[in-house]
Amino acid sequence: MNKVGFIGLGIMGAPMAEHIIDGGFQLNAHTRSGVPQRLIDKGAIICAHPQEVAEQSDVIICMLPDTPHVEKVLFGENGIAAGLTEGKTVIDMSSISPIETKAFASRINQLGCHYLDAPVSGGEVGAQSGSLTIMVGGNEAAFDKVKQLFDLMGSNITLVGTNGDGQTCKVANQIIVALNIEAVAEALLFASKSGADPVRVREALMGGFASSKILEVHGERMIKRTFNPGFRIELHQKDLNLALANAREMGLCLPNTATARELFNACSAHGGATWDHSAMVRALELLAAHEVA
């Protein structure tokens, strides 16, 4: 397993791929926007399309925006599937539909290859530092075989279950994150509108039971108005859409998830699709005619 392919070298994918190169692996790379120069300087080999990546690699990793992108890269013209030979492993680290993931895995397995869904949490900071949380679904033997690659990119790596379970875990993660952002935004807005200093309120809350990573990082973003992404609202919208679509199929009601999605939708309607997801607070500020500051 010396040759690793990587498809999708955006905000998250590029630093993840760089860790793989730094770990001593040959990297065969393809991305629509062009392979970053820093990866080329470190020896990344540019491939013309996903099929070539698969032909030249033992393990192929995808890090793409949404389900249709993964399907096209896997099974479209010059896709990964066309370049696979028996025994290779495909790892999808995108955040996509758990249901479609199971179908993709079945098709790859029929080619005599392994498939792991391994979505991540931790954002750009985690990708850069190699400290991502990685939630894996798939065969345990396949997981053990590529664990050393996960170790280069993350610090909290869990084999959750079979194919699709990694994506299910990621959707659950995104529900928790969205609802925590909403809670922090409401609390800071309440404090600010009441006349209290949100900076000091946040400092006080950080020492109590309400303390959280969201309060620490995104609470500060809300107060300082630093909404350049980390993780874009449009991507979190996509994840909550997946949550609600899957919940509907199961006959499950997720009322607060639906509310969080509508707040993201409001931000997007006001030109904020590419804001950081902490900017959900802006939708609540519009309703209150008051800005946290």
Cite the active site residues.
170
Q: What is Dmax (Cα atoms) for the chain?
A: 65
CA distance 106 to 191: 51
Asked whether 169 and 160 are in contact (CB, 8 A), the reply is: yes
CA dist 214 and 202 (Å) reads: 11
Q: Is the distance from CB of 83 to CB of 57 less than 8 angstroms?
A: no
